[in-house]
Structure formats: C-alpha cells, structure tokens
Structure 1
Amino acid sequence: MKHLISATLSLQAGQVWESWPKGQRSRMLSELLADDGTIQLQRQADLLMIGHLRGNIATHRRRLVDFMRSIPPIDEAYTRMMFAIINEMNEDLDGSIHHDPIQEPTS
C-alpha cells in the first residue's frame, strides 16, 4: 500500500531533497524511512569506530614523541620529518578529546 504524504522540510533537509535526482526522491525517502533503525545503528557504530581510531592515533603520536625525546637525534632532517608526522597526526585529531598541541622542541 502506498501513502501520499506532505511535509515541511527544514532548510538543511530541503537542500538534501533538492540534491537527490528527480524521479528517485520518493524511493530514496522511502528507503530512509524504512531503514531508519539500521541507519542509526550504523551511524553509532561508525562514530564509535572513529573514536577508537582517534585514540589509536593519539597513542602512536605519544609514542613517537616519547621516542624522539628519549634518544639523541640521528640528524636534523630526520627529526624535522618525524615532528612533521606528529603534527599531521595531531591535526587529524583536531576537535576531538585526543587533540594535544605538541610543540616541536627547540635546539
């Protein structure tokens, strides 16, 4: 059985609706409504996985920092490269609880 609905969409929802291909909008909306529970569970699982991955990045970043500070530098280029990697890892964590601004040591 098919149902005809009328809805007032928020600005963001309207933009999404307009971005969908004409002729497929009703089908896509029906799929979203029917799969709502699955979509929500998948989103929660994805967010949890992202949190774990960010935690792993933070752990490895901290290990690199500790390693670089515990041994004499092999050479300046190597040291700069390692701290560039550490800074890039930290940028990937920006906005998360794992973000930790690490200052490159000055010689």
Structure 2
Amino acid sequence: MKPLNYLNLSVAMGFFLGLAFSIAKFDEPEVILFWTIVSTISFYLIAMLIISVYTWSLEFDHTIFDKNNLEKRLEFFDKEFDNREKEAQNIKHYLQSFNFNGSEK
C-alpha cells in the first residue's frame, strides 16, 4: 500500500471511530464534534509518524555521515543561492532604472 493511501485510510478510520465513540459516550453536539476532531487529528499524527519511520527505514544507509553526498548538496544549495542573489540584484537594478518622479533625467 502506498504511504498516502495508508494515511488516507488512517484518517478516515480515525474520523469514524472517533465519531462512533463520541456519539456513544457524549450527548452534547459540541463535545461530540470536539472529540471527533481530536481523534481524527490523533490518528493523522500517529499515521504520519509511522509513515515517516517507514520511509526513513527505506532510505536508511548504514553510513550516518556521508561527506561526499553532503558536499554535493551544499554545492547545489550554494549555486542556487548565488542564482537567487543575481536574480534579486537584476530586479533591484531594473527597478532603480525607472524614474518614478515623472521628470526627465
């Protein structure tokens, strides 16, 4: 089963179980709604925890610290940061080239 399908199933199950138990236990509609929402959120968080542990275990490599991979990622982020900085400078220069006062230079 795909992780997203498991998450959807868990949320739906949490909603209906919470609704059934809150209807069985409480009489006020506000309390029923509150405990239904609380149970749905708790099932969602538990399912997210299980899915994150599952995906982490699939990608788990026996090396805790892979220096080469980390350096490649840092170089990529450095290049992306430089590109964004150049783009921001170009936008700044473009905006400074406008004459907003309406008078000629």
Q: TM-score range by the shorter chain?
A: 0.3 to 0.5
Q: Report the TM-score, using the length of structure 1 for normalisation.
A: 0.36
Q: Computing the radius of gyration over CA atoms, which structure comes out larger, 1 or 2?
A: 2
Q: TM-score, normalised by structure 2?
A: 0.36
